[in-house]
Amino acid sequence: MDLYYKIGYTGDNYLDKITREDANILTHINIAFGLVDNGRVKINHLKNTEYINKIREYNPDIKIVLSVGGWGAGGFSTAVSTAEGLKQFAESGYEAYKTLGLDGLDIDWEYPCIDTAGIDASPDDKYNFTAMMKSLREILPESAMLTIAAGAGEYFIESTEMAKVQEYLDYVQLMTYDMGWGNKTMHHTNLYGSDKISTKSTVEIFSKAGVPLEKIIIGAAFYSREWQSVLSNDNNGLNQNTQYNVEFGKHYTDLHDNYINKNGFVKYWDDEAKAPYLFNKEKKHFISYDDEESIKYKCEYIKKAGIKGIMYWEHSYDPKRYLINSIKENL
């Protein structure tokens, strides 16, 4: 049987909650987050890294990687804008890798050339992103992993040179969530769907841009996105305008235990998208999320499409392990 990667992002503050069972389901853990400070990878704010060794006792084969960046975490653009800066950034990345006893680094720059998250950005990021990966690959040991988290859409392709970048990477993690934005209800982590971006269309975009299928990891969401004050009950709230913009929603264990077919929230299934959603007609409240069934379909797609595996954001959002168990059963 092929080894499919099962990768969990977890905050540093949750490392002590990783169980033996978790460690033996997952193939990789991405620790969130290292930061960029004055051009260097910063790790001195991380408080629970002593649990890395405990997790390795649970599963000596698991790979533990430091993810650097995250939404709203800047400093990349300025750090790698010069040859001297590139060298300093790569050296500090290597020091973090060595100090923590890691298996690799994951770069989560959201996003090159784009300052939407309030970070520093430049048109030169497109080329400096490639140079960053080259510099890291050259300084890290051959056995060390180097990966990225990539935005799900054409914007990320246009802002990078993925055909070149992928040469330095072990795999590319597609953040196929948060795909529903604005003040119209929609799925935020759908597998399929012809009217907007989907997990499948994102895989196709990256494949066309030069990333081999066997280097692609798709993403699952252990949290929801929600819209309130939906203006119409048509289509059970799906694809309807709303009075307010999308918000970060409830975590999956909370949804499972307190909202799905409870308290006026009715679960619906979009068979084309292979995605669930909740709608409370009285409260005009719409929620998009992944569940055990949509995870199953994502796992089936991984095997059918010939891609490498699945990752999720974020481990602490499902303390009762409903979704990680679906990954275990289906991949």
Residue 257's contacts (CB-CB under 8 Å, 6 or more residues apart) are: 320
Is residue 243 classed as helix, strand or coil in its secondary structure? coil
Q: Hey, what amino acid is at 91? A: E
User: How many Cβ atoms sit within 10 Å of the Cβ of residue 106?
Assistant: 28
State the amino acid at position 184 in one-letter form: K
Selected catalytic residue, list 91, 110, 161, 293: 110
CB 142 within 8 A of CB 60: no
| Backbone region of residue 12 per phi and psi (left: phi > 0; alpha: psi in -120 to 50; beta: other values) | alpha
Q: How far is CA 42 from the centre of its chain?
A: 21
**Sequence-separated (6 or more) residues with CB below 8 Å from residue 275:** 187, 189, 190, 191, 193, 269, 288, 290, 294
* DSSP-based three-state secondary structure for 172: strand
- How deeply is 80 buried, as exposed, middle or buried, from its count of CB atoms within 10 A (0-12, 13-18, 19+)? buried
Is 110 known to be catalytic? yes
Q: What DSSP assignment string belongs to 286-298? A: EEE---HHHHHHH
Contacts of 25 (CB under 8 A, 6+ apart): 6, 324, 325, 327, 328
* Separation of first and last alpha carbons in the chain: 10
Token pair 């002590």 in the structure block, residue: 16
The token pair that represents 289 in the structure block: 């999320």
Active site residues: 110
